[in-house]
Amino acid sequence: MGLAPLPRRRYTEPMPLLMVSHLRKRFNLEAGFFARFGRFVNAVNDVSFSIGANEAYGLVGESGCGKTTTARLLVRMYEADGGSILYHSESGPTEVAALRKAGLRRYREKVKYVFQDPARSLNPRMSVYEVLVSGPRWSTLHRKAGEKQLRWEAASVLEEVGLSAADLDLRPSEFSGGQRQRISIARGILMRPELLICDEVVSALDVSIQGQILNLLLDIRQKRDISFLFIAHDLKVACYFCDRIGVMYRGELMEEAPAGELYRRGLHPYTQLLFSSVTGGKSPPPLHTFGVPLPPSAGGVPPATPPLPDENRCAFAERCPRSRERCFAEKPPLRETDAGHTIRCFEF
């Protein structure tokens, strides 16, 4: 896809919709009843970011970097080991970890999740109509709505995503992969959320279908005035859709910047490596800033375990062409180089 970032506006709102501070989550290294306990992998390690009203924020990185775990922590599919998730609703700021039952249910009505694989997330035994309204039937928003009203809303949202009201009585298996993803998006926006989490929603689709889904999400954002957390491994796709992007590696944020700035001047060697992986091994100028060509990632992603990354050194040191002795002895802080542009590297 020949994508370039869309024109962006600057967000100056003092109060973001969602604020994530020092979020942490670790998992036991081994699984099973007889697994040893005490060795952990840090899936999310001291991650902080915010999402403004009607802003699209991207989390980008290779598989296993912790971006999906971060998203699932936001809706409490996993419980965080540390940190804070603060949601700013009309009634004021709310600590998500403190929500219980009815409060958590209302929060999940405002923050909806669209999964990567619609073939697995859509129940094949249900019709499209049942898939769409199984949640709203129990929500505070639709509790007093009759079946006729629910069907009208389901038909309306299905047409909004490019399908027909006649498709309501079909099964998900009767649709293509791109159409099933449209159904998943329809299910997410039916509850009129304020934040839509899109977890690799275009990664399994053909390039032409990817563009259609991205344009659909842009239309939904403009029409409904909602925010997005957009998770992807393709940095160019994220730069096209998002306003700001955080680049993750081994559970840590390595760089964060406005999408246009990151596309023009990605500073961290890992950010350049991500661009290189989608441009045939050549970083698009003027992205390269170090003067030392980055080697192609021929070996793939190093396994998370073993060896586990040392907490007291740079997580990217083994793969970095600019690594020094200090990188293996100290963890670089996340520091700001320009307004809104932060990077975790001793070179800056």
This prediction has a pTM of: 0.85
pLDDT at 141: 53
pLDDT at 82: 94
pLDDT at 7: 53
Strand order in the sheet with 56-60: 111-114, 195-199, 227-232, 56-60, 244-249, 252-258, 341-344, 334-338
How far is it, in rounded angstroms, from Cα 216 to Cα 110? 20
Short-list 83, 96, 75, CA closest to 26: 83
Which residue has 């599919």 as its token pair?
77
Backbone angles phi, psi at 329, to 5 degrees: -120, -20
* DSSP letters for 307-332: SPPPTTS-TTTTT-TT--GGGGTSPP
pLDDT at 204: 79
pLDDT at 312: 82
Domains of the chain, residue spans: 264-344
pLDDT at 32: 57
Tokens of 48: 């902080």
- Name 201's Cβ contacts closer than 8 Å, sequence gap at least 6: 114, 116, 181, 184, 185, 213, 217
Amino acid at residue number 258:
P
pLDDT at 278: 65
How far is it, in rounded angstroms, from Cα 339 to Cα 332? 19
pLDDT at 36: 63
Q: Which segments in the chain show pLDDT lower than 70? A: 1-14, 30-38, 136-145, 278-310
pLDDT at 75: 95
pLDDT at 292: 34
